[in-house]
């Protein structure tokens, strides 16, 4: 994947839209808008994680962006009913996958499973967005330790040379699906903790370079604040990415100077 200089804006469609046709309409509308020379949109400027079954159809339509998977399931070929491996997702047109989203964690995903998914995805050079975030905050700042431990536990098995395609998304669970996002300052301090943990695994130079996103109740009104003051390189967006006009507004707010 090409070097990323513009903000990384990732939509997460979750279990929307209702049908594949609706997804096709969304991407076509988005592409039409982004093709306008007035917008000066980068060649590949958006990422959208979509329901797995939509990937092969939507991926070729996404000329200005990347279509990816919301999670990866089985990591090995074989007798695992209902599971899809990173290689299968990639061969079906996915350019990236999310791993460890809090809604997947809540369904019982274990640390071992997450590590396995991250290792298997990175091993085939699949861009992997690893999500983490605290459920609640305490006054003593133990949640920062929680974040650092999550990074260390999940990634300590990953070979350093595979770190290049890793993106980390800080998503405080209390902000996902909530009316209000975290503040830029709250995001900034969490990002420092995350970079500290990454430095302990991959060295300071690596930790400075790794792309970190913020996710949780972002709307077009908060895009610039996070990008300018939150210490992040991009955003992971749920609800506001599920409607074409609000996603275009987010992309405009993040890419157009």
Q: Is 153 a catalytic residue?
A: no
Stretch that binds ligand PGA, among 54-62, 182-190, 192-200, 215-223 (CB under 6 A): 215-223
Helix (H) or strand (E) holding 88: helix 86-91
Strand partners, 169: 131, 213
Pair 123, 160: CB distance under 8 Å:
no
Told to check if 221 binds ligand PGA by CB under 6 A, we report no
* 237 contributes a contact to ligand PGA by CB under 6 A: yes
The CB-of-36 to ligand PGA minimum distance in angstroms stands at: 26
Residue 52 has phi, psi (to 5 degrees) of: -45, -40
Residues in the chain: 257
Q: Does 230 bind ligand PGA (CB under 6 A)?
A: no
C-alpha–C-alpha distance, residues 175 and 17, integer Å: 22
Is 247 in contact with 11 (CB distance < 8 Å)? yes
Q: Are residues 38 and 46 in contact, defined by beta-carbon separation less than 8 angstroms? A: no
Tell which residue, 157, 222, 232, 143, has the closest CA to residue 191: 232
CA 197, CA 150: separation in Å to the nearest integer?
9
Say whether residue 171 binds ligand PGA (CB under 6 A).
yes
Q: Which residue among the candidates 52, 70, 101, 113 is catalytic per the annotation?
A: 101
For ligand PGA, give the closer residue by CB, 49 or 120: 49
Binds ligand PGA (CB under 6 A): choice among 238, 248, 250, 253: 238
Which stretch, 122-130, 149-157, 193-201, 238-246, contacts ligand PGA (CB under 6 A)? 238-246
Residue whose CB is less far from ligand PGA, 66 or 85: 66
Q: Applying CB under 6 A, does 69 fall inside the site for ligand PGA?
A: no
Q: Which residues pair with 129 in a beta bridge?
A: 98, 167
The answer to whether residue 171 is catalytic is: yes
Stretch that binds ligand PGA, among 113-121, 183-191, 230-238, 245-253 (CB under 6 A): 230-238
Binding ligand PGA (rule: CB under 6 A), the pick from 138, 177, 228, 245 is 177
Alpha-carbon distance of 227 to 172, in angstroms, equals: 17
215 near ligand PGA, judged by CB under 6 A: yes
Judged by CB under 6 A, does residue 216 bind ligand PGA? yes
Task: Give the residue from 181, 89, 167, 177 showing the smallest Cα distance to 132.
Answer: 167
| Residue (118 or 218) nearer to ligand PGA, CB | 218
Contacts with ligand PGA by CB under 6 A lie at 12, 171, 176-177, 215-218, 236-240
Residues assigned a catalytic role:
101, 171
């Amino acid at each position: 994947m090409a070097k990323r200089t513009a903000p990384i804006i990732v939509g997460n469609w979750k279990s929307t839209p209702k049908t594949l046709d609706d997804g096709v309409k969304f991407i076509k509308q988005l592409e039409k808008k982004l093709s306008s020379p007035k917008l000066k949109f980068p060649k590949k400027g958006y990422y959208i994680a979509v329901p797995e079954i939509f990937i092969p159809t939507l991926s070729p339509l996404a000329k200005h962006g990347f279509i990816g998977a919301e999670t990866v399931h089985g990591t090995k070929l074989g007798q695992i009913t209902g599971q899809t491996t990173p290689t299968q997702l990639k061969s079906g047109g996915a350019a990236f996958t999310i791993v460890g989203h809090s809604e997947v964690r809540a369904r019982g995903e274990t640390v071992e499973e997450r590590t396995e998914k991250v290792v298997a995805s990175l091993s085939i050079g699949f861009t992997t967005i690893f999500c983490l975030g605290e459920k609640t905050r305490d006054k003593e700042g133990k949640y920062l330790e929680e974040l650092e431990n999550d990074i260390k536990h999940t990634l300590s098995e990953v070979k350093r040379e595979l770190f290049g395609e890793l993106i980390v998304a800080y998503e405080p669970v209390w902000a996902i699906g909530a009316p209000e996002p975290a503040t830029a300052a709250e995001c900034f301090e969490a990002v420092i903790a995350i970079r500290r943990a990454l430095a302990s695994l991959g060295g300071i130079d690596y930790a400075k370079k790794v792309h970190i996103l913020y996710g949780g109740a972002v709307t077009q009104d908060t895009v610039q604040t996070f990008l300018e003051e939150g210490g992040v390189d991009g955003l992971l967006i749920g609800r506001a990415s599920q409607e074409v006009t609000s996603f275009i507004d987010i992309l405009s707010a993040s890419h157009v100077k």
